[in-house]
Amino acid sequence: MAYPDDLLSTGEHVVIHRHPHWKTLVVPVLVLLVAVAVGAYLAVQVSDFSWASIAWIALAAVVLVLVAWLTVAPVIRWRTTHFIVTSERVMYRIGVFKRTGLDIPLGRVNSVRFEHTLVDRLLGCGTLIIESASDEPLEFDDIPRVEKVHSMLYREINDNPADDHRTEDRVTDGRA
């Protein structure tokens, strides 16, 4: 899914757009499977009672609440989390009802590094750490193909002369 172009400035283009790695969805899918299996098992167990219809409604309500809270919400959170590198900045957006965003201009990035455990290496993801003008380094967990993102971001920072041109434009326009 491409990031909406209307949120980009003139001349800015998306270089990388990632959602968190699919491994963040493993637990929600397991919860879904267990909730449905346990709910079905309990529905069969109470089917012989005279109040079975009330028990089925209660079981269905409990399973629906658990699935909504522990499966649907994490999937929506995963889908609405974006890590984007453009030709001018690094963007991170997360949230559905309360949307949070972070933008780091490429000119402010001091260093970029990545870390990944053995499991992360097997799954092809990791943590991207960006040090900028802020006090603390920013860590972005579960970035798919983190080594490729790291190298593309590094290349974009060092090969992108856009910051130099913007400074020259301001000086020649008399706005510096």
**Residues 36-67 pLDDT 10s:** 999 999 989 988 888 888 989 999 999 999 99
pTM: 0.79
pLDDT beyond 60 at 163: no
C-alpha span between 153 and 147 (Å, rounded): 10
Q: Which domain holds residue 125?
A: 12-18+83-162
Q: Are residues 155 and 93 in the same domain?
A: yes
In the block, residue with structure tokens 């909406």? 4
Q: Are residues 72 and 87 in the same domain?
A: no
Identify the three-state secondary structure at position 124: coil
Within a domain: 2: no
* Confidence (pLDDT) at 3: 61
Q: Are residues 88 and 153 in the same domain?
A: yes
Q: How many domains does the chain have?
A: 2
- By C-alpha distance, which of 35, 88, 87 is closest to 64? 35
Q: Are residues 60 and 106 in the same domain?
A: no
